[in-house]
Amino acid sequence: MSVGGVRCLVAALGATAATSWARSAAGTAAGSVGGSSLDPLIGDRARWNRTNHRGEPVSMLEGPATVVGLLVGGVLGAPSARAALAATAATAGGGAFGLVDDLTEDTTTRTKGLRGHLGALAHGELTTGGLKVLGIGASALVAAAIATPRSASSAGPRRGLAGWAFDVASSGALIAATANLVNLLDLRPGRALKASALVAAPLVLAGGNGAGLAAAVIGASVGAAPGDLVERDMLGDSGANALGALVGTAVVLGAPRGVRLALLAGAVGLTVASERVSFTKVIAATPVLRELDGWGRRPADGPGPGAAATEPAADLTE
C-alpha cells in the first residue's frame, strides 16, 4: 500500500474511533447522576435534546462527537502541516458556530433559510443563524487562505495577488457552501452522513492532497451512523456544518480550479433551490434516491431505540 493509502486508512480509522469514543464519553457523562469531568462542557442535559420528524426525543451529542472525529481524522489524513491547519480551521469553525446555533437558537421566533437570516442581517438583526453564516464564512476563508499557497513550491515563483485572492475567495465560498448544503440535507436519519461519504469516496479513490481528509469524512460518518440511523442521535448544525466544511476543504486541497468552480456553482444552485423545493419530497419521488436514503434506517413503523430516539430537521441556514 502506498504512503497515501496508509494515510487514508489511518485517517478513516482514527476518525471512526474518535467519533465513537467521544459519543460514548458524552453519553456516559450525560447519564451520570453524580456528575462527571465533562459537566462544564455538557451543562444542562435537557438543552441537548430535540424532537425529531416522528415527534420522538433525540440527542444532539452526536454533533460534537462527530466534530472530534473529524478533527482527529483531518490531522491524521493531512499530507502537510498546512493542510492539517486548514482542515482544523474549517472543521472547528463549522462545529463551533453550528453549536452556538444548536444551543442558543430562539425557537419561538425562528428565522428559516439563508434568505431569512440574510434578510434579518439587512435589517440590523443578528440571529444565531446569521451569526453562524458570518462565522462559518469567516472560518472558511481562513481555511482557504491557509490551503492556497502563493507559490507551487517553496522555491517556485510567487503567484499574482489577484489570482491568489480569487482562488481564496472561491475556495472559501465552496467550503462554506458545502457546510451549508450538508446541513440542509440533515433532515432525516443518516441522510447527511451518506451524502458526505458518497461525495468523499471519489476523492479518496482519486488520491491527491485531499484524499486523507475525505477518508476522515468517511470514517467519522461510519462512527456516527449507528446512533443516527436508529434515531437515537442527530448531527445538529454542529456536526453537519463541520462534516460539510471538511468535505469542502478536501475538494479545495485536491481539485483543480475548474472543478472547484463547477462544484461551487452546483452547491450554490442547490442552496437556492432549497428555498423553494423540498429535498425530502424530491428524494421520496425518485426510486434510487429513496432506496439509498432509507438504507439502514429504522422502518417507518419500527420501534424506537429505547431510552432515546431520533433526529430533528437541522438547517445550517436556520
- Structural contact between residues 168 and 141, judged by C-beta atoms closer than 8 angstroms: yes
> Tell me, what DSSP letter sits at residue 301?
T
Q: Phi, psi (5° rounding) for residue 205? A: -65, -30
Tell me: pLDDT of 93 over 70: yes
Least confident of 281-285, 291-295, 297-301: 297-301
97-145: pLDDT as tens digits? 999 988 887 665 555 666 666 666 676 777 777 889 999 999 999 999 9
Q: Can you give the pTM of this predicted structure?
A: 0.85
Segment holding 308, helix H or strand E: none
Mark out the alpha helices in 78-207 (DSSP H runs): 81-104, 113-122, 128-147, 161-185, 191-206
pLDDT of residue 56: 82
Q: What local confidence, expressed as pLDDT, does residue 317 receive?
A: 39
Contacts of 262 (CB under 8 A, 6+ apart): none
**Does residue 34 carry a pLDDT above 80?**
no
pLDDT digits (tens, 9 = 90+) for 200-256: 999 999 999 999 999 999 999 999 999 999 999 999 999 999 999 999 999 999 999
Q: What CA–CA distance (Å, rounded) separates 27 from 24?
A: 5
